[in-house]
C-alpha cells in the first residue's frame, strides 16, 4: 500500500492536469490520449517497482494511440457532450499495467478508458450547469461591470473544473482497481479483448474520417490514405 499510494497520487495529479487542458488551462494538447498515455506510462515506470520505464513508456503510448483512434472524431467545442479522453487514458494505462501481459492488458485498459471517458462527458455537463447558475446569481454585478464578480466567476469555474477532472480521474483509477477481480478466471489469456478494442478503434477512426470528409475531394484522400496504409502493412 505504501508503494501504491504515491503512484496513485501522481496519476491523480496528472489526470487532473490533462482534464483541465481540454477547456480551462493550459490547452496545450496534453489531453490528447497519445500524450496523456505516454506520460502516464512514464509515471508508472518511475514509481512502480515491478515495471521498468523502457517497458511502461511504449506501453502507455500504445494504449494512448488506441484511444486516440476513438478520440479523433471528437470536436470539443460549444455545448456538445463529448467524452473526456484525457483522464480516461490515464486510468486506462493504469488498468492495463495491472495485467502480466500487455497484449491482454491493452484490451482491459481500453475498456476502462472508454467507460471513464463517458463519465467525463457527463461531468462536463454538470460543470457547465454549475457555471451557468453562478453567472445567473451574479448577473446584476456583471451588468454593472464589476471586476470582482468577473474574477470570482473565472476562479469559480477553474475550481469546479479541477474538482471535475480529479473526480473523473479518481473514478477511472478506482474502476481500474476493481475490474481485475471482477473479470472471470482465464481473462489473463483473453487476447481477444485487445483484438476487439483495436478493431473498434480502427472502425471508429475510419468512420469519423469518412463522415468528416463528406462528399468533397477530401474523401478521395481518406481512401487513398487507407489504401497506402494497408499496402505499407502488407508489404513491410
Q: What is the DSSP letter of 70?
A: H
Choice between 12 and 181, residue whose per-residue pLDDT is larger: 12
For residues 115-143, average pLDDT: 91
Model confidence band, residue 22 (pLDDT cutoffs 50, 70, 90): confident
Would you say residue 133 has pLDDT above 80?
A: yes
CA distance 215 to 224: 14
Q: Which cell numbers hold the place of 115? A: 467507460
Provide the percentage of residues in the chain whose pLDDT is more than 70.
Answer: 84
Burial class (CB in 10 A: 0-12, 13-18, 19+), 136: exposed
Q: What is the DSSP letter of 184?
A: P
Please count the other Cβ atoms lying within 10 Å of the Cβ belonging to residue 183. Answer: 15
Lowest mean pLDDT among 22-26, 109-113, 162-166, 210-214: 210-214
Burial class (CB in 10 A: 0-12, 13-18, 19+), 69: buried
Model confidence band, residue 91 (pLDDT cutoffs 50, 70, 90): very high
Would you say residue 233 has pLDDT above 90?
A: no
CA distances from 4 to 10, 44, 45, 50 (A): 10, 10, 13, 11
Q: Where are the alpha helices (DSSP H) in the chain?
A: 4-21, 33-47, 53-71, 85-96, 102-137, 139-143, 147-182, 192-213, 218-235
Over the chain, what is the mean pLDDT? 85
Q: What is the DSSP letter of 78?
A: T
Q: What is the DSSP letter of 69?
A: H
Model confidence band, residue 226 (pLDDT cutoffs 50, 70, 90): low
Q: What is the DSSP letter of 99?
A: S
Amino acid at each position: 500500500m505504501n508503494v501504491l499510494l504515491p503512484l496513485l497520487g501522481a496519476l491523480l495529479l496528472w489526470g487532473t492536469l490533462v482534464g483541465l487542458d481540454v477547456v480551462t488551462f493550459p490547452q496545450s494538447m496534453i489531453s490528447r490520449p497519445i500524450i496523456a498515455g505516454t506520460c502516464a506510462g512514464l509515471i508508472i515506470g518511475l514509481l512502480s517497482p515491478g515495471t521498468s520505464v523502457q517497458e511502461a513508456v511504449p506501453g502507455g503510448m500504445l494504449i494512448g494511440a488506441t484511444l486516440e483512434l476513438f478520440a479523433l472524431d471528437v470536436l470539443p467545442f460549444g455545448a456538445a457532450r463529448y467524452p473526456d479522453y484525457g483522464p480516461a487514458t490515464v486510468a486506462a494505462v493504469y488498468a492495463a499495467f495491472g495485467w502480466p501481459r500487455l497484449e491482454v492488458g491493452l484490451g482491459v485498459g481500453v475498456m476502462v478508458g472508454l467507460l471513464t471517458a463517458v463519465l467525463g462527458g457527463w461531468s462536463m455537463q454538470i460543470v457547465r450547469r454549475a457555471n451557468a447558475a453562478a453567472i445567473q446569481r451574479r448577473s446584476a454585478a456583471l451588468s454593472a461591470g464589476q471586476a470582482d464578480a468577473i474574477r470570482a466567476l473565472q476562479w469559480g469555474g477553474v475550481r469546479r473544473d479541477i474538482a471535475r477532472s480529479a473526480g473523473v480521474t479518481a473514478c477511472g483509477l478506482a474502476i481500474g482497481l476493481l475490474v481485475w477481480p471482477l473479470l472471470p478466471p482465464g481473462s489473463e489469456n483473453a487476447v481477444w479483448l485487445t483484438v476487439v478494442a483495436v478493431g473498434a478503434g480502427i472502425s471508429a477512426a475510419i468512420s469519423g474520417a469518412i463522415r468528416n470528409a463528406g462528399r468533397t475531394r477530401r474523401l478521395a484522400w481518406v481512401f487513398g490514405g487507407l489504401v497506402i496504409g494497408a499496402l505499407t502493412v502488407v508489404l513491410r
